């Protein structure tokens, strides 16, 4: 399996444990009591992994923050990024307690980043993109291109915009383009 693919397929129990821990972390951060004690008995929870936590209130994006690189064990990354998405995403005011019942949590566990030399290596819907030029960098998760029905060029242009670069910056020889895959799972919508 290439390095831009995940080597672990999460079981439903593992997914549910991470989703519950993300919800518990947000609830605790908002000052609410949490009685659930989630069990983390799989070694995958303690592997250092990059991950993003995305929050939606009904269908609207409410926050999304993550670590691209594997700085911490996965369970710690999920806890920290859940709280950050709820309270520190600069695009939104902090989540309030009354929003919790309507909040939908999605987790994206990332594979390692792999630099590419040819944009034809990007498979829309499978790969996310990380673009860096100088001090500017930006990332879009694989599911974003699917959600907006983007082709490869539009995905590259939008990742450049996210990085604060011109839409054509992906063609600049000084621009570094890296790809990754993600295993994405979320809470069931009621």
The mean pLDDT of the chain is 92
Q: Note the pLDDT tens digit of each residue in 49-101.
A: 999 999 999 889 999 999 988 899 999 999 999 999 999 999 999 999 999 99
Tell me the whole-structure pTM to 2 decimals: 0.87
Region 9-32: mean pLDDT is 94
The confidence score (pLDDT) of residue 38 equals 81
66-70-147 Cα angle (round to 5): 40
Give the span between the Cα atoms of 20 and 43, in whole angstroms: 18
Task: Work out the number of other CB atoms within 10 angstroms of the CB of residue 25.
Answer: 23
The pair of structure tokens assigned to 167 is 């839409």
The confidence score (pLDDT) of residue 137 equals 95
CA separation (Å) from 129 to 117, 132, 149, 161, 172?
Answer: 13, 10, 15, 12, 16
How sure is the predictor about 3, in pLDDT bands with cuts at 50, 70 and 90?
low
Is the pLDDT confidence value at 4 over 60? no
Domain chopping of the chain, boundaries? 12-111, 114-180
Is the pLDDT confidence value at 17 over 80? yes
SS3 168: coil
The confidence score (pLDDT) of residue 33 equals 83
Is the pLDDT confidence value at 2 over 50? no
Q: Do domains 12-111 and 114-180 have the same CATH topology?
A: no
The class of domain 114-180 in CATH terms is: alpha beta
The confidence score (pLDDT) of residue 190 equals 37
The class of domain 12-111 in CATH terms is: alpha beta
Which long-range contacts link 94-97 to residues 24+ away (Cβ below 8 Å)?
95/26, 95/30, 95/55, 95/57, 95/62, 95/63, 96/30, 97/30, 97/31, 97/32
Give the span between the Cα atoms of 64 and 188, in whole angstroms: 18
Phi, psi (5° rounding) for residue 104?
-110, 125
How sure is the predictor about 5, in pLDDT bands with cuts at 50, 70 and 90?
low
Q: Note the pLDDT tens digit of each residue in 94-131.
A: 999 999 999 999 999 999 899 999 999 999 999 999 99
């Amino acid at each position: 399996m290439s390095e831009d693919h995940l080597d672990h397929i999460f079981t439903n129990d593992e997914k549910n444990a991470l989703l519950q821990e993300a919800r518990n972390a947000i609830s605790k951060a908002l000052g609410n009591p949490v009685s659930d004690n989630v069990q983390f008995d799989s070694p995958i929870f303690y592997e250092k992994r990059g991950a993003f936590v995305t929050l939606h209130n009904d269908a609207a994006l409410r926050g999304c923050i993550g670590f691209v690189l594997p700085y911490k064990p996965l369970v710690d990354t999920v806890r920290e990024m859940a709280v950050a998405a709820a309270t520190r995403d600069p695009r939104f005011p902090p989540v309030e307690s009354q929003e919790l019942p309507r909040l939908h949590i999605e987790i994206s566990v990332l594979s390692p980043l792999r630099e590419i030399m040819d944009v034809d290596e990007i498979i829309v819907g499978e790969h996310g993109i990380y673009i860096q030029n100088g001090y500017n960098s930006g990332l879009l998760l694989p599911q974003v291109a699917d959600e907006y029905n983007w082709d490869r060029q539009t995905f590259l242009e939008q990742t450049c915009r996210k990085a604060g670069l011109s839409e054509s910056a992906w063609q600049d020889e000084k621009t570094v383009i890296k790809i990754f895959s993600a295993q994405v799972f979320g809470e069931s919508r009621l």
